[in-house]
A and B are shown apart, each in its own frame.
Chain A
Amino acid sequence: MTKVVVAMSGGVDSSVAAHLLKEQGYEVTGLMLRLWSEPGKENSNRCCTPDSVAQAKKVASILDIPFYVIDAKDIFYDKVVKYFIDGYADGITPNPCLACNRHIRFDLLFNHAMALGADFMATGHYVQKFVRDDGMHLLRRAIDEGKDQSYVLHVIKQDILRKVLFPVGEHPKSIIREIASEIGLPVAKRPDSQDLCFLAGEDYRTFLQRYEQSSNLPGNIISTNHQVLGTHTGLHNYTIGQRKGLGITTIDPYFVVKKDYQTNSLVVGDARSLGTDRLIATEVEWSCGSPPSLEFDALVKTRYTSKPAAARIKMSNENASEVMIQFYDLQRDITPGQAAVIYDSDVMLGGGIILSTDRSELP
């Protein structure tokens, strides 16, 4: 019998994933990671709270599958939480989910699943996997466009991707909820999780105020032509493209154009000065094995929630681990630290972490 270890969180998606696999005739085991919580906030942390563990355990009992919890607190802190904190200190906007998928889910957890004798690991991510003619395993955007999670899965290496299943990606979320309630899972009505799991429900800015003060000092808000317009409360507290809450009065609406960590100033400008159209991405993983060619056209997403935009992709080095991406149109919110993920239509080819972004000379 083929054995699958399902990464369970106590939520709807991974619970139904386990159910679907069991229905398909796999031998299923549930596995959960005990992740890091801020000391004293263990109970309000979103996932892996005692409550989530209890929930996942209950689901496992209903599905009649074995269930285990693995301690990953230290490594999660080192690879994900610290990356998040240090990233802000370094002046980028890190995406901890990418770090988690790279170092925890599709590495540590995967290895534990294999150690438990699994042939495959499965998760509750909304993405579809298919096998290309040449035998490569590739990811395609989820049936449910609004739920698609391919953006955070570009970090999976091909040899691991071959052994991963995503059973919920082939269904709309509404169906997944229906299945959950049909089979009587207690999680059917739990709201979708949104924020970062280790934030214990609070805003990331509040969290950072406790952990990373060095780069969170007040400074000047300046215009693109170097006029001082006001004072910001710390660069952490702003995102590129942000319009509201700047505390300055201008005739036209002003947006955050850039966060200049060198001078601790927040650069703002009107809609015309907003946006960049070029970026360098590093640590590029090609889920498809290798890039289709040294230079090609593709669609690129620069945020989890952004729409794919047309761009020209050029390899910057021989092993294609760094790329230059030139968009055909200005993009409002390209942010260093987030991922640039490359698609051929709805097929995810790969992606990397945005190192820098700028605006090419307009004709």
Chain B
Amino acid sequence: MSEKTYFDFAATTPVDERVVEAMLPYFNEKFGNPSSVHLYGQRAEYAVETAREIVADYINAEPEEIIFTSCGSESNNLALRGVTLARRHHANGTNTIITSKVEHHAVSKTAEQLRQFFGFGIDWLPVDDFGVVNPRTLKSKLNSSVALVSLMYANNEIGSINDIQTMAELCAKNNIPFHTDAVQAAGYLPLDVKKTPVDLVSLGAHKLYGPKGVGALFVRNGTKILPTITGGGQENGLRAGTHNVPYIVGFAKAIELLKVERQARIEHVEPLRNHIIEGVLEKISGSKLTGHPENRLPQHASFVFKNVDGNLLLSMLDEKGFACSSGSACKTGNPEPSEVLTEIGLEREWSLGSLRITLGTTTTKDQVDHFLAILPNIIDLNRSLTAKR
């Protein structure tokens, strides 16, 4: 079998060697608990606080506005549950969550739980055919009953970018907290919380060459929020639990590298990504790009193919050595079209045949060319098999 090609960097990235190196001393050499008084504790605390400064600096926040969590999903949970419950307590009559149907499940399922068990209402904002929320739609929905607005920066499945700047400004004007899930966006898109009046931002390390199992939530000073994990008072009392020191250090190292290398990474992946989009749309009949053609993450290409079994497509590509992803991916062979693809108006015959290709620092032109060379045959074969069942 030929060398394997990883085309799923939006699912997760490998951990950068330099990040691994930065983490290692904190497993056994500087292993202390940052909450301890002694020197071991002080060293660990120093590491965590330095990490906090690095992450804060990257989005131009204050260090105390960064809460370390276990992952992007936890950050989303803390933002939604923490802010809506606090708001209801402090500001009577706020009982509505505004979000969209194309959010990551860590947002949409949390909102659903708040509706079902905590009595909040949800105002689901529609998206256009690219999966983008129109700020004017948001504007028309804002009123004094809104507890929180949560809209993602960039979509994981179809790569489209929301106009966070305008929407954050609208919310700020109405004194409504605005949360954005920036887990997918953070590796490529700029964010300056001094310029963009967001109140909460979710980040995760493992989409930007950091380790899995660590994330952060930016919480603007003054935002009313309750902890979802209560206990020892770590992280400003917003997230109890002994700090995961090596992972927090790794996260910060990844952010530090990102700050220096972001532009180079974009310049590396974007032309390759454009080559894939052009190649696929040209070579494959019955294919469509999903998400916005220009206003999308630079490493992200996503498609639907008419009358193709997306699940089978992933298996066939994997056997050819290409690790890709799909909006209808299901490891139990029970395919349902993704909510995102349904929400942007795709019929089942299209949405079941989705494919996501996301590139990274190690992607080469050869890999892309090889992929484009084998794809047409695979799609033909897939269609002939799919037609028979």
Partner-B contacts on A (CB < 8 A): 1, 27, 29, 31-34, 48, 50, 53, 57, 66, 68-75, 108, 111-112, 115-117
Contact = CB atoms under 8 A, between A and B. Distances in A.
Question: 8 shortest A-B CB distances, which residue pairs?
Answer: A69-B333, A34-B333, A68-B315, A75-B389, A116-B319, A71-B333, A53-B332, A115-B381
Interface string B298-319: 0000000000010110111011
B319 A69 contact: no
Nearest to B331: A69
A75 B312 CA distance: 15
Given A53-B333, A72-B389, A27 B1 contact: yes
Contact of A108 (B314, B332, B388): B388
Contacts of A72: 333, 389
Q: Dominant SS at the A interface?
A: mixed
A68 B316 CA distance: 9
Given A1-B1, A34-B332, A57-B331, A69 B311 contact: yes
B281 interface: no
16 contacts: A34-B334, A53-B332, A53-B333, A66-B318, A66-B319, A69-B330, A69-B332, A70-B311, A70-B312, A70-B315, A71-B311, A108-B388, A111-B385, A115-B381, A116-B319, A117-B320
A117 B322 CA distance: 14
B388 A29 contact: no
A72 B333 CA distance: 8
Contacts of A116: 315-316, 319
A27 B320 CA distance: 13
Contacts of A108: 385, 388-389
A225 to B, nearest CB: 51
- The number of chain B residues touching the other chain, given as a range, is 20 to 34
B319 A117 contact: yes
B335 interface: yes
B382 interface: yes
Given A1-B1, A115-B385, A71 B309 contact: yes
A50 B332 contact: yes
Nearest to B332: A53
Contacts of B316: 115-116
Nearest to A116: B319
A204 B189 CA distance: 59
Contacts of A57: 331
B385 A71 contact: no
B389 A74 contact: yes
Contacts of A33: 333
Contacts of A53: 331-333
Which interface residue of A27, A31, A116 has the most chain B CB atoms within 10 A?
A: A116
A198 to B, nearest CB: 15
Nearest to B352: A71
Interface in B332-389: 332-335, 381-382, 385, 388-389
Contacts of A70: 309, 311-312, 315, 333
Contacts of B389: 71-72, 74-75, 108
